[in-house]
């Protein structure tokens, strides 16, 4: 089993003919993902790589192919409309890779997608992968291997680092999810932790957070109160200089709230294993398998 995507996932790509969309669509197809459609307004009727039909709208693509998942590679000014278009067309999982989506846009998108009953992952995220079954987004498939360790992270590149270390140690993954580091995103830590708790295949969960906000503290409370499976956590930004602006829009510390020390203490109070460095995950996971 897995969470959110599996071998039955049928994917459409919004922005399939753009630079990023075309490159990563090929990567997803090579991995074995069932890419059934692409969407680029004005290019309906064409085909990508000779086999994937391109449509002008998501509604047409869903109607003709039955796609249940969408991944978005469009510029920031058009990303909000793309996410809402996908949800309006009946897509159940919308994955937005686009970085730089205005927060004001996301205030509209967040509620609209929920009202349509869809799940949004992102924006500004690397997507997700269920090793050996399906890849949606930009996580490198070659560093992943099937197994029973669930992975959820706010950071894209940190996701890759942890997954690589797990694979090298012979610890395969059930599903790896990058939720993104923007202030408003569609899927949070608790959503993923709850899904991993209910997934029969997942035995241990690795959670990578970072400074700023209170998502990690809320996730720790969820682990303490609702999870039976062991969770190992890490906080990025432990050495960040006070007052320094960091890369993620959500990495904002206000007073004492959102600091690495506060989040690490919350993890410890919840009974979670705490990694001081990404490489520490392997030993911590092995102890809890």
* Residues 6-22: tens digit of each pLDDT: 999 999 999 999 999 99
Tell me, yes or no, if 248 is annotated catalytic.
yes
139-288 has the same fold as 10-121 = yes
Q: What is the rounded average pLDDT of the residues 227-249?
A: 77
Q: What does each C-alpha distance from 118 to 39, 46, 90, 112, 130 come to in angstroms? A: 19, 28, 8, 9, 19
Please pick, among 24, 135, 154, 248, the residue that the annotation labels catalytic.
248
d(CA 40, CA 167): 36
Across the range 212-231, mean pLDDT stands at: 95
Q: Which residues pair with 39 in a beta bridge?
A: 14, 55
Fold designation for 139-288: Rossmann fold (3.40.50)
77-109 burial code (b ≥16 CB/10 A, e <16): ebbbebbbbbbbbbbbbbbbbbbebeeebbeeb
Mean pLDDT taken over the chain: 93
Given a cut of 80, is residue 190 above it in pLDDT?
yes
CB 229 within 8 A of CB 196: yes
Where b means 16+ CB within 10 Å and e means fewer, 165-204 reads bbbeeebbbbbbbbbbbbebbbbbbbbbbebbbebebbbb
Dist. CA 197–CA 3, nearest whole Å:
10
Q: Which residue has the higher pLDDT, 84 or 246?
A: 84
Q: How far apart are CA 240 and CA 251, in angstroms?
A: 10
Is 158's pLDDT higher than 90? no
Q: Which two tokens stand for residue 229?
A: 């499976």
**Count of residues in the chain:** 289
- 216 exposure class (CB count in 10 Å sphere: 0-12, 13-18, 19+): buried
Contacts of 225 (CB under 8 A, 6+ apart): none
pLDDT over 90 at 234, yes or no:
yes
Tell me the C-alpha distance between 39 and 56, whole Å.
6
Q: Which two tokens stand for residue 38?
A: 């692409």
For 115-150, what is each residue's pLDDT tens digit?
999 999 999 999 999 999 999 999 999 999 999 999
Band (157; pLDDT cuts 50, 70, 90): confident
Nearest to 9 by CA among 75, 93, 120: 93
Domain ranges of the chain: 10-121, 139-288
CATH superfamily of this structure's domain 10-121: NAD(P)-binding Rossmann-like Domain (3.40.50.720)
Sign of torsion over alpha carbons 273, 189, 148, 24: negative
H helices present in 133-254, as ranges: 156-168, 189-198, 215-226
Its pTM stands at 0.94
Six-digit token string for 131: 């090793």
pLDDT at 245 over 80: no
User: pLDDT for 34-81, tens place per residue?
Assistant: 999 999 999 999 999 999 999 999 999 999 999 999 999 999 999 999
Residue 73 contacts residue 40 (beta carbons within 8 Å):
no
pLDDT digits (tens, 9 = 90+) for 248-285: 545 454 455 578 889 999 999 999 999 999 889 999 99
């Amino acid at each position: 089993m897995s969470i959110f995507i599996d071998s039955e996932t049928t994917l459409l790509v919004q922005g399939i003919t753009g630079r990023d969309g075309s490159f990563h669509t090929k990567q997803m197809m090579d991995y074995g993902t069932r890419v059934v459609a692409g969407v680029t307004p004005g290019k309906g009727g064409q085909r990508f790589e000779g086999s994937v039909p391109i449509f002008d709208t998501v509604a047409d693509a869903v109607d003709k192919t039955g796609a249940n998942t969408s991944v978005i590679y469009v510029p920031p000014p058009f990303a909000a409309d793309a996410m809402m278009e996908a949800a309006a067309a009946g897509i159940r999982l919308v994955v937005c890779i686009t970085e730089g989506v205005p927060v004001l846009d996301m205030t509209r998108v967040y509620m609209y997608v929920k009202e349509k009953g869809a799940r949004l992952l992102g924006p500004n995220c690397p997507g997700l992968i269920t090793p050996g079954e399906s890849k949606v987004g930009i996580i490198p498939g070659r560093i992943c291997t099937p197994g029973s360790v669930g992975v959820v992270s706010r950071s894209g590149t940190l996701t890759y680092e942890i997954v690589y270390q797990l694979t090298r140690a012979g610890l395969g993954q059930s599903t790896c999810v990058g939720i993104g580091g923007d202030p408003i995103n569609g899927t949070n830590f608790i959503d993923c932790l709850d899904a991993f708790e209910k997934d029969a295949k997942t035995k241990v969960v690795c959670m990578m957070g970072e400074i700023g906000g209170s998502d990690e503290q809320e996730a720790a409370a969820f682990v303490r109160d609702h999870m039976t499976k062991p969770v190992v956590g890490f906080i990025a930004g432990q050495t960040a200089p006070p007052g320094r602006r960091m890369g993620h829009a959500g990495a904002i510390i206000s007073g004492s709230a959102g600091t690495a020390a506060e989040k690490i203490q919350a993890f410890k109070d919840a009974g979670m294993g705490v990694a001081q460095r990404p490489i520490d995950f392997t030993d911590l996971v092995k102890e809890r398998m």
